[in-house]
Every structure is written in C-alpha cells, then in structure tokens.
Amino acid sequence: MNFFTRLNTKIALNRKHEEKLFQAVSRELELGQVNRGLWLKALSSCHGNENQAKSTYVKLRVQAIKDDMLIQGALEQDIPLPEESEEEEIQLREYRETIEPSIRAPWNEELESSKIIEYAAKARKDRLKRAFQK
C-alpha cells in the first residue's frame, strides 16, 4: 500500500469515527442529556440565537468527547501529566464544594459521572496546555 492510499484510508477512518461521535451526541440529545457548560458556551458564542447554538453545541460536544478520548489514551499510556499547582488544587476543591453538587442534582448517575469526567478531562487538558507553553 503506497503512502497516499494509507493516508486516504486513515482520513476515511477518521471521518467514520467522527460520524459515530455525532451519532452518540444525537443519542444524548434524544435522552435529554445536555452538558450545561457546553450549551452555555454555544449559546454565548451565537449571541443567544438558539438555532445556531444547537449546531454549535453538537460540534463542541463532539470535540469534548474527542478530548476525553485523547486524554484517556495519554493516561493509559502512562504519559506523565504536570503536577497540579496549589492554585489548581484550590480551584478543584472549590469545584467539588460548589459546582459538583449542582451538577449531581438534576441528572442521573450515568450523566453525573460523565460530567465529572468531562471536568477532570478539561482540567488535565488545561494543565497539558500550560506545560507545553512553558
């Protein structure tokens, strides 16, 4: 198999994988499972236009799932993550005390754990960004 055939195959596989992610987000929406943080981000980036925000939300949610998968892969490969600073530990403690209980209340346990995973993934992603910026 030559280089271009391998490259085109990889691109096609990536498109199919992304298609599955969009299907997963569609199922979440059918079940009424919406990530409030991403929804607000979508809504604010669309200046309150709910129709545009729906499309933007789907894109943001797919990217969030991709990010979670990337981070999970890094963790499984034992790629060392930068240590948390004292400031980050304080932010995490504040999150656990204030935001986390409000996330738990309206959703079922399955969604609750996904919200916590998303927050942890975002925190790790932010740490990785800062580590590579130094």
Question: What's this model's pTM, rounded to 2 decimal places?
Answer: 0.57
Asked whether the predicted pLDDT for residue 106 surpasses 70, the reply is no
Residues 6+ apart with CB under 8 A from 127: 81, 82, 84, 88
Separation of CA 9 from chain center: 26
Residue-level pLDDT at 123: 67
**pLDDT tens, residue by residue, 17-70:** 899 999 999 999 999 999 999 999 999 999 989 999 999 999 999 999 888 888
Domain edges within the chain? 1-79, 83-134
